Structure 1
């Protein structure tokens, strides 16, 4: 490992903050939803995400492979079928860990929001199935469709949540 220090500013770069660039793959930045202003660059152990021209960059740690048969595994499968990548899955994991810790029975005492995606009201999730109160997969399907329609991508929803405290 090598640390690099800029002799003029004293800024230090280390392996954990340096971006990985695939020279054969082209630009390391990708644009997703959220008014097409989201840029994601790959970084060691995660993703650097900038949403909007005035937004500060945020780092999202790579979520890694979920345990088979779990709600997270179902979410990853669903996102992959929608042509989203690992970066978007990592944003979804971070967002829903914050919202509900991936508990399908999570209820916000002050607002009444319910489930993994914290739907308000919970009955909105009935569009994905009558078992919306008890089935994590029903909640995940609804939540991902809501995110796609409103924010364009999970990273767009996470950026909104980081800025305003809700999505």
Structure 2
């Protein structure tokens, strides 16, 4: 994943669906407020990959876009929200570089798959138009 420059405009017109299901999937150990959605969701560092997949599917909505997102995440991190690339330092489900960029989606970016998913979907939409646009690029370059 390539870092975006500070001059990259952020699209703010998209309305996001709340991640209410995150509390059901992950449990209610910690409550966090997402900077992108303005909704509260539960954080749990030990979330299972199936829980993260369900959160992504609920956030994305469209089955085709979810499959594209899932293809990237499977290859980048194997759905491990604590995955870290030892060479580059990329972090999390979507291998953000640097990982700290995900703080724009929530202070719990290191431990909460929902926060990483929110940030990753936003990144893919801004840079590639959609998760499927990002997947098409990934297939050609083996990075995004």
Common fold, TM-score beyond 0.5? yes
Instruction: Report the CA distance between 1:150 and its aligned residue.
Output: 0.5
Aligned counterparts, 1:1-167, within 5 A: 69=25, 70-80=51-61, 85-167=62-144
Instruction: Flag structure 1 segments of 5+ consecutive residues without an equivalent.
Output: 1-67
Q: Following superposition, which runs of at least 4 residues in structure 1 exceed 4 angstroms of deviation? A: none
Instruction: Report the CA distance between 1:100 and its aligned residue.
Output: 0.3
TM-score under structure 1 normalisation? 0.56
Instruction: Report the CA distance between 1:110 and its aligned residue.
Output: 1.1
Distance 1:131 1:90 in 2: 25
Distance 2:136 2:96 in 1: 18
Q: CA RMSD in A?
A: 1.1
TM-score under structure 2 normalisation? 0.65
Distance 1:115 1:95 in 2: 12
Instruction: Report the CA distance between 1:116 and its aligned residue.
Output: 0.3
- Structure number, greater radius of gyration: 1
Aligned length: 96
Distance 2:98 2:68 in 1: 23
Higher helix fraction (1 or 2): 2
Distance 1:78 1:138 in 2: 11
Higher strand fraction (1 or 2): 1
Distance 1:112 1:161 in 2: 19
2:72 alignment partner, SS class:
helix
Instruction: Flag structure 2 segments of 5+ consecutive residues without an equivalent.
Output: 1-23, 26-50
Distance 1:109 1:158 in 2: 23
